[in-house]
């Protein structure tokens, strides 16, 4: 199993550009989520999904959209990038009977 994969690893955007961060898992986990990690702060939840076709907002959802058309994939879309969105983004998945959350390697995003 590849686990949780994220692409790209690094990305530089200009203010106002849009892009999609990809996340995929091959463990057939129902629950997937996106976090951002900023220096000196804990990870903060952006959006999450409990299954295909179901998404909901986390703590810091503004400026981001998600969709879940399949169990495997959970892309995060930045609609109009802002410097405040410079961060490291992590995708995670968990099987709802084991509770352990598995994290991807992260995407380091810089918005100029």
Partner 1 sequence: KQEVTQIPAALSVPEGENLVLNCSFTDSAIYNLQWFRQDPGKGLTSLLLIQSSQREQTSGRLNASLDKSSGRSTLYIAASQPGDSATYLCAVCADDYKLSFGAGTTVTVRA
Provide long-range contacts, Cβ within 8 A and 24+ apart, for 67-71. Answer: 68/32, 71/28, 71/29, 71/30
Per-residue contact string for residues 51-70; x = within reach of partner 1 by CB under 8 A: -------x------------
Nearest-angstrom CA–CA distance, 1 and 94: 14
- Give least dist CB 106 to partner 1, A: 5
- Give least dist CB 107 to partner 1, A: 10
Give the count of beta carbons closer than 10 Å to the beta carbon of residue 24: 19
Nearest-angstrom CA–CA distance, 66 and 81: 15
> Which residue's CB is nearer to partner 1, number 57 or number 84?
57
Q: Does 40 bind partner 1 (CB under 8 A)?
A: yes
Binding site residues, partner 1, CB under 8 A:
4, 31, 33, 35, 40-45, 48, 50, 58, 90, 92, 94, 96, 99-106
């Amino acid at each position: 199993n590849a686990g949780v994969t994220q692409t790209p690893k690094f990305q530089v955007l200009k203010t106002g550009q849009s892009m999609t961060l990809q996340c995929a898992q091959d463990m057939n986990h129902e629950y997937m989520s996106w976090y951002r990690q900023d220096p000196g702060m804990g990870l903060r939840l952006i959006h999450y999904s409990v299954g295909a076709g179901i998404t909901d907002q986390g703590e810091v959802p503004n400026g981001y959209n998600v969709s879940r058309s399949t169990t495997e994939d959970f892309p995060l879309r930045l609609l109009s990038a802002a410097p405040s969105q410079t961060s490291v983004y992590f995708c995670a998945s968990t099987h709802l009977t084991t509770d352990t959350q598995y994290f991807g390697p992260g995407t380091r995003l810089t918005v100029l």
